[in-house]
Amino acid sequence: MNRAEIATAGTRPSSPRLSLRQALILVFVGALAYVAVVGLILVIRVGPATQRLPRESTTVMNEYNQSEYRIRSVDKVQGELQALVGAMPTEQVDSGLLRSIRARLQEAEEDSRTLARMAAPSGSRTELRSLLAYGLLRESAWRNVLLAAAAAVELHDAAAARELLNVADLRSRPVHALFNVETSAVLRAVRREESNIAEVTASSTRLVGLWFVGGLLLLPVVAVFVRRRVAAPLAVLDDGLARVSAGDLSVELEPAVPDELGRLALHFNRMTAVLRERAAQEEERTATESTARTRAILEAALDAVVVIDEQGVVHEWSPRAVATFGWSRDEAMGRLLADLIIPEESRADHTLGLRAYGQRATTPMLGRRVETVAQRRDGTRLPVELAISPLHRQGRTEFSAFIRDLTEQHRMESELRQAQKMDAVGQLAAGIAHDFNNLLTGIMGYADLMRHDEQANAQLREDAAAVLAAAERGADLARGMLTLARRSHARDESVDLTKLAQEVMDVFSRTVDRRIEVTLALSADAAVARGDRSQLANALLNLVINAADAMPNGGQLTIGMRVARLDEQFTKRHSREAVPGEFVVLTVRDTGHGMSSDVRARIFEPFFTTKPIGEGTGLGLSMVYGTVRSHRGIVTVDSAEGTGTTFTIYLPLDHTGAELEIAPVREVRTGRGRILLADDEAQVRDVMARLMRRMGYAVELACDGEEAVELVRADPDRCDLVVLDGNMPRMTGPDAARAIRAIRPGLPLVLSTGYFDADSDETPAAKLFDGTIAKPFDLAALSQILATYVPS
């Protein structure tokens, strides 16, 4: 924890100091007192002096002016009296002038009395006051003489008047002399006031100057005081806030003085403590969430996640790792990874890789996806994809490994390759079968004609029957190839598989080696599937024959039947065509010699066989595979050398109902009507025309679809049925059917085809036709189709 003292930048005081508020008040009061002292100096010393000077000067001058006026007035009175006295012998005394003289003298007397009353003997005017008081007395005596002189004039006593005027003249002299002295005193008083104010001003100026100098000398002390008590603590607080705002919550201030800043520091510390606590809670919450999230990710991860340290010790073992490798988390944690999942032959490389990372901080395994082989707890190997990344956490280096089990991927890739291989073989087989069927159609047709030719001898008809039988075996072979390619003309009907299995096993048990114990484990459930009954029977027969072949010295053969629900995961893993739902599960298990993995990987390939030459065509399991896939089913094999083999067929359960028994009709039916036959194969076209005519129909031939269309367009009513080959040059059968439908919509159309290609254009086009004739066909089958669509 960083602690900073907020109250001072210097040493801690030994005694309690001023609080911030007190310090500020002290500074403020000090400044105020400092200024107040200056003001007081000015007010107390300079102010009164400057105010007194004009007041005193004005007063003194007023008094001086009054005295001057009064003395001049009395001088004038004296002059007037002298004039009156001088004129007395000859002139009449002017009584008005005398009244005026008396009035002016009385006025002057009262003025002087008023002035005397005002003249207080104090202050700087003491000298002047004394002079004034003395002068007023002298003036009064002078005026009294003049009053008497005026009275003498009024009483016509010229002698007394002259004598009194002489006395007045004598009494006026000290008055004037005093006035001059008074004038000097006035000037001295004014000068004294001026000198006084100058002295006061100068001394005050010096005092103020000294005061300012003292203030300037005190200024650094005040500055240091303010810096230590205010600026420095605020700077510490500011620094602390800056650090907190920058994210450093460890800062803590140390309040040196319990003042405002001290309380602020305490609040600051509480704030940072709260922030630290919240940050810790947030960190803990984040860590918890992160852990939970990591745990959720690990649990949801499709790949196994393993974390090891630089010594290869396991620190994390995800649930997927548990499922993939068989080691529980508790078992795996703390153990060396090499002991858990790394095969013996790879452990040295693993150890070298860890050591190389410790030396060079890198290894070629890092940051890449590497396919390798791991081993499970039970020792089995599995292909894995490995992605390793280094983790640097809390000073340690760990490695996180994302391990993806490639077993399924490899299997799917194998299946894909198998499917692609089967498709290629199917394409080849389909082409061969198509041509083969056309050939067989001619062979079987001609043989049929010969067999039913009444004019031929018996030997020839037997030969024709032999040809026909051989041709039918060839037709079976062609049908097998089409089944392999899933392009056979399969039936779509409900097949009771339990019943079918019992029938097959009934036939099989008559020919099987007695050392083989056959067991039927059929459930009571209705195991009905939809498909071609004969194809399914052939498939089951192939499986049991292969099983018997695998047990040359006898063993146990078990056929099981049950109904099970397959989920999407299972169906997707084994087939792109199977839909999740209820399936009839048919198992054929033997206790034979089993298969190696290499054999197991190729058993469904066409023409692949482990039997000696001449004992197997290599098409048996391929047909099983094709039959099951064409029925949207799944076939799996589980086999190991020496432990036997189990084939499992999954066929979609049919809920529509049980199998219907339809007895095959093999008789040749005749009829009447016009048939337009289009086929590009001349031989086929010829033999079919001859067969149709033998049945009683009128047949018109066309070399291809286009010709057939032209014939119909030329005369839409020229025939009652049109038989079109599916694959013809210039215009195929379906295209011709569309055109004919456009011309005459109600005209029956039958497709004659050598194979049924589910993926070709014929499939949707087949819906354009009213019926289908699969080549090669026999006479009865052809007559049934024709009789169905040509009205008699």
Quick note: the x/- pattern for other proteins over 128-167, rule CB under 8 A, is: ------------xx--xx-xx-xxx-xx-x--x---x--x
User: With binding defined as CB under 8 A, does residue 510 bind other proteins?
Assistant: no
Minimal distance in Å, beta carbon 111 to other proteins? 9
Nearer to other proteins, 106 or 294 (CB): 106
Q: Does 102 bind other proteins (CB under 8 A)?
A: yes
In the complex, minimum distance from the CB of residue 53 to other proteins, in angstroms, rounded to a whole number: 25
**Residue 146 C-beta: closest distance to other proteins, Å:** 10
- Residue whose CB is less far from other proteins, 74 or 152: 152
Q: Measuring CA to CA, which residue among 294, 290, 317 is closest to residue 305? A: 317
Distance of alpha carbon 209 from alpha carbon 6, whole angstroms:
38
Question: Minimum Å distance from CB 172 to other proteins?
Answer: 15
Minimum separation from the CB atom of position 157 to other proteins (A): 7
Whether 719 and 709 have beta carbons less than 8 Å apart is answered as no
Beta-carbon contacts of 474 under 8 Å, excluding residues fewer than 6 positions away, are 436, 440, 443
The nearest distance, CB 108 to other proteins, in angstroms, is: 9
Stretch of 110-118, 461-469, 627-635, 671-679 lying at the interface with other proteins (CB under 8 A): 110-118
Smallest distance from other proteins to CB 29, Å? 34
Comparison of 164 and 251: residue with beta carbon closer to other proteins? 164
Kindly tell me which residue out of 39, 121, 258, 581 binds other proteins, with binding defined by CB under 8 A: 121
**What is the smallest separation between the CB atom of 181 and other proteins, expressed in angstroms?**
23
All residues at 6 or more sequence positions from 438 whose CB lies less than 8 Å from its CB, including other chains: 681, 683, 684, 754, 775
- Cβ 126 to other proteins shortest distance, Å: 11
Give me the least distance between CB of 104 and other proteins, in Å please: 11
The total of other beta-carbon atoms located within 10 Å of residue 269's CB is 19
Binding segment toward other proteins, per CB under 8 A, in 98-106, 183-191, 230-238, 450-458: 98-106
Q: Which of 3, 76, 113, 191 binds other proteins (CB under 8 A)?
A: 113
Among 109, 193, 532, 707, binds other proteins (CB under 8 A): 109
- Interacting stretch for other proteins, rule CB under 8 A, among 17-25, 99-107, 281-289, 550-558? 99-107
Is residue 105 close enough to count as binding other proteins by CB under 8 A? yes
Question: In the complex with other proteins, which residue's Cβ is closer, 147 or 653?
Answer: 147
CA angle, 521 then 522 then 528, to 5°:
155
CA neighbours closer than 13 Å in the CB half-sphere of residue 636: 14
Judged by CB under 8 A, the chain residues 168 through 187 that form the site for other proteins are none
Whether residue 747 contacts residue 719, with contact meaning beta carbons closer than 8 Å, is answered with: yes
* Nearest partner of 132 among 193, 172, 186, 56, judged by Cα: 186
Residue 634 φ then ψ, to 5° = -130, 140
CB 237 within 8 A of CB 265: yes
Q: Does 79 bind other proteins (CB under 8 A)?
A: no
| Cβ closest to other proteins, residue 82 vs residue 400 | 82
Q: Which of residues 529-588 bind other proteins (CB under 8 A)?
A: none
Contact residue for other proteins among 16, 89, 96, 117 (CB under 8 A)? 117
The contacts of residue 450 (CB under 8 Å, 6+ apart) are 456, 460, 461, 463, 464, 467
Q: Of 102 and 744, which has the nearer Cβ to other proteins?
A: 102
> What's the closest the beta carbon of residue 78 comes to other proteins, in angstroms?
15
CA-based max dimension of the chain: 228
Pairing of strands 581-590, 555-566: antiparallel
| Number of residues near other proteins (by CB under 8 A) | 25
- Is 329 a binder of other proteins (CB under 8 A)? no
How far apart are CB 151 and other proteins at their closest, in Å? 4
- Say how far apart CA 426 and CA 420 lie, in whole Å: 10
Contact 752, 724 (CB under 8 A): yes
**691: closest CA among 659, 673, 668?**
668
What lies within 8 Å, CB to CB, of 529 at 6+ separation is 494, 495, 497, 536, 584, 631, 633, 651, 652, 653, 654
Give the DSSP H or E segment for 291: helix 260-300
Stretch in the footprint of other proteins (CB under 8 A) among 109-117, 211-219, 383-391, 509-517:
109-117
H or E element, residue 163: helix 158-226
CA separation for the pair 710, 701 (Å, rounded): 12
Q: Which residues bind other proteins (CB under 8 A)?
A: 102, 105-106, 109-110, 112-113, 117, 120-121, 140-141, 144-145, 147-148, 150-152, 154-155, 157, 160, 164, 167
